[in-house]
Amino acid sequence: MEATSPIVTSLDERLLDLGSKTTFSSIRTPPTKKAKRVRFFRNGDKFYTGVVMAVTPERYRSFDSLATDLTRALVSSVTLPNGVRAIYTMDGRKVQSITDLEDGKCYVVSGQGELFKKVEYSSSKVRRGSSLSGLPQSPAGTGRQINTIPSCVKARIITLIRHGTKPRRVLRLLLNKRNAASLDHVLEAITEVVKLDCGAVRRVYTLSGKLVITLEQFFESEEVFIAYGTEKSTQEDFELDPEESKLVQSFKRGPWISKRQSGPIPEMPRKTGKRALTQPQVRTPSPASLMLPQPLRMHYSVGHVIGDGNFAVVRHCVHKQTGAEYAMKIVDKHKCQGKETMLASEVAILRQVCHPNIISLIGEQETTDQLFLVMELVKGGDLFDAIAAVTKFSEPEASIMIGHLTSALAYLHSHHIVHRDVKPENLLVEMEGSHVRCLKLGDFGLAQFVREPLYTVCGTPTYVAPEILAETGYGLK
């Protein structure tokens, strides 16, 4: 018996070792939790049927990761300028954590600063067999079926007059495949824009006095419409007072649509986005008033304003040691709330690019309230002002500018970057006497890296590319 004892002991050790390995194996590979099938609606959009997603703790370890995937899944079907920022239950309670989401339930997503809107959404539960999402789908595979949209629908900007006491509010609305799938869709979009005191828009008339009863009427020759709630229309409603007439005319296209073949040279379109100061202002504010960070204050002296826009001011600055001149762009972060992603994207792209026909980023400094970008200074101003000053360029000069612009765009596209706001105001020129020597592309506020088709409608209406308005997806081609 004593001879067999070591064998028994050895066998017991092996069994114990095998049991411990099994135990450890079961600890390392816990059973995967079942995915929650959840439907998400767009806040306030009663026509969108929602997107169903599989939500698991393994896939989404944070609320932000889920919000990012939701934005990607919804972007081709609904308008979310700043992406998904909040999730609500169907009765308006804000979801604080992914664990709060329940299997088979529906929720509402909203953008930055939006209040919850209680409407009758298109579907009330998640049915078995519903397709899952989490990645961008083709437009045909998302909530609104693009193939059912009437052929008359095309991207078009209309002018709206809000019924009320004169002078009435005059607004603009872009109609496209997202908001004009039916007459009800258009009325919903108009309601969101004009914001009548009585609530929803019930009736819409053309400026000539015709009641709009079909979707096709929004895409015919008339461009100006009057929105009503439950009020009755009168003949005076269709007569514009001087202020209304001025606003309506300013919204219409430029005089080049006239059928006349002769006459004065057409006027330039209005300058958009920024106000350039062609005459430098003789003032040099103190560093304290500019709130310059210490590193910038040590190396640069800041002078007059070169130009300003909605979110930033551009000032002339000089490097104290070398005497080199630069442009300092000072961005007010408070005015950019909700656009932080765009601002970060602009800076990231400027850091990466290096091309003779693209404005160079020299340095940057950030504080709690402001972002300072030291950039290459182009003393000739922008192309818009140059065109306004000389009216026309010679063929050799035009050839130089087109060559420089296409070179810059080809470089960006080779690095998978789209600019999305190419216009004369964003093209800076270096002059040699009265002639253009060099053209440089600037203002990367709407630029973005392209990894998949984009559907966001953005840019300046006067210059926006047709493929952006088509909403069929655009990229580098």
pLDDT at 144 over 60: no
Confidence tier at 123 by pLDDT (50, 70, 90): low
In a domain, 21, yes or no: no
Q: What integer best gives the mean pLDDT of the chain?
A: 78
What the block records as the tokens of 121 is 């959404």
Section 234-243 average pLDDT = 89
In a domain, 132, yes or no: no
Distance CA 440, CA 356 (A): 7
How many CA atoms does the CB half-sphere of 321 hold within 13 Å? Answer: 4
pLDDT for residue 205: 94
- Sign of the CA dihedral running 91, 93, 95, 100: negative
Residue numbers in the known binding site for ATP are 329
Of the three residues 316, 351, 376, the one that is the final residue of a domain is: 376
Distance CA 330, CA 368 (A): 13
Distance CA 376, CA 358 (A): 9
180 and 213 together in one domain: yes
Max mean pLDDT range (14-28, 242-256, 434-448): 434-448
Q: Which residue has the higher pLDDT, 146 or 338?
A: 338
Section 97-102 average pLDDT = 88
How buried is 64 (Cβ within 10 angstroms: 0-12 exposed, 13-18 middle, 19+ buried)?
A: exposed
Confidence tier at 439 by pLDDT (50, 70, 90): very high
Residues 317, 326: contact at Cβ < 8 Å? yes
In sequence order, what are the beta bridge partners of 372? Answer: 330, 365
Q: Which residue has the higher pLDDT, 84 or 270?
A: 84
% pLDDT > 90, the chain:
24
Confidence tier at 289 by pLDDT (50, 70, 90): low
40 and 64 together in one domain: yes
Residues 246, 225: contact at Cβ < 8 Å? no
Q: At CA 53, angle to CA 47 and CA 59, rounded to 5?
A: 150
Of the three residues 376, 396, 426, the one that is the final residue of a domain is: 376
388 and 464 together in one domain: yes
> Which range among 201-205, 268-272, 331-335, 410-414 shows the weakest confidence by mean pLDDT?
268-272
Section 390-400 average pLDDT = 87
CA distances to 50, 75, 185, 202, 269 from 45, in Å? 9, 14, 9, 17, 35
Instruction: Classify the phi-psi angles of 458: left when phi > 0, otherwise alpha if psi is within -120 to 50, otherwise beta.
Output: beta
361 and 391 together in one domain: no
Residues 376, 360: contact at Cβ < 8 Å? yes
Distance CA 446, CA 422 (A): 10
What CATH number did the domain enclosing 463 receive? 1.10.510.10
Q: 3-state class of 136 per DSSP?
A: coil
In a domain, 138, yes or no: no
The pLDDT tens digits for 246-280 are: 888 876 643 333 333 344 444 555 665 544 444 44
pLDDT for residue 17: 52
> Which range among 128-132, 326-330, 444-448 shows the weakest confidence by mean pLDDT?
128-132
Distance CA 410, CA 417 (A): 10
Section 219-235 average pLDDT = 90
| CA-based nearest residue to 123, from 52, 37, 36, 35 | 52
360 and 404 together in one domain: no
Confidence tier at 355 by pLDDT (50, 70, 90): very high
Name the H helices within 175-266.
183-194, 242-251
Q: How many domains does the chain have?
A: 4
372 and 387 together in one domain: no
What CATH number did the domain enclosing 186 receive? 3.10.20.230
390 and 463 together in one domain: yes
Distance CA 351, CA 322 (A): 22
CA 397 to chain centroid:
34
390 and 459 together in one domain: yes
- Helix or strand run (H / E) with residue 405: helix 395-414
What CATH number did the domain enclosing 311 receive? 3.30.200.20
DSSP classification of residue 269? P
Which one from 45, 237, 421, 443 is the annotated catalytic residue? 421
350 and 390 together in one domain: no
Of the three residues 313, 347, 376, the one that is the final residue of a domain is: 376
In a domain, 212, yes or no: yes
Q: Which residue has the higher pLDDT, 32 or 197?
A: 197
Section 150-176 average pLDDT = 88
Q: Which residue has the higher pLDDT, 436 or 286?
A: 436
How buried is 153 (Cβ within 10 angstroms: 0-12 exposed, 13-18 middle, 19+ buried)?
A: buried
pLDDT at 196 over 50: yes
Section 61-80 average pLDDT = 76
What is the extent of the structural domain holding 365? 294-376
Section 437-458 average pLDDT = 88
pLDDT for residue 83: 76
% pLDDT > 70, the chain:
77
pLDDT for residue 399: 93
In a domain, 174, yes or no: yes
How buried is 68 (Cβ within 10 angstroms: 0-12 exposed, 13-18 middle, 19+ buried)?
A: middle
Section 241-246 average pLDDT = 86
What the block records as the tokens of 86 is 């909040």
pLDDT for residue 252: 62
How buried is 391 (Cβ within 10 angstroms: 0-12 exposed, 13-18 middle, 19+ buried)?
A: exposed
pLDDT for residue 206: 93
In a domain, 387, yes or no: yes
Distance CA 424, CA 383 (A): 5
pLDDT for residue 276: 41
pLDDT at 25 over 60: no
pLDDT for residue 79: 66
C-beta atoms surrounding 241 within 10 Å: 11
Confidence tier at 145 by pLDDT (50, 70, 90): very low
367 and 396 together in one domain: no
In a domain, 284, yes or no: no
Query: Is there a catalytic annotation at residue 421?
Result: yes
Max mean pLDDT range (136-145, 190-199, 293-302): 293-302
Cβ neighbours of residue 71 closer than 8 Å, sequence gap 6 or more: 80, 83, 84
In a domain, 245, yes or no: no
pLDDT for residue 271: 61
Confidence tier at 78 by pLDDT (50, 70, 90): low
Distance CA 142, CA 74 (A): 8
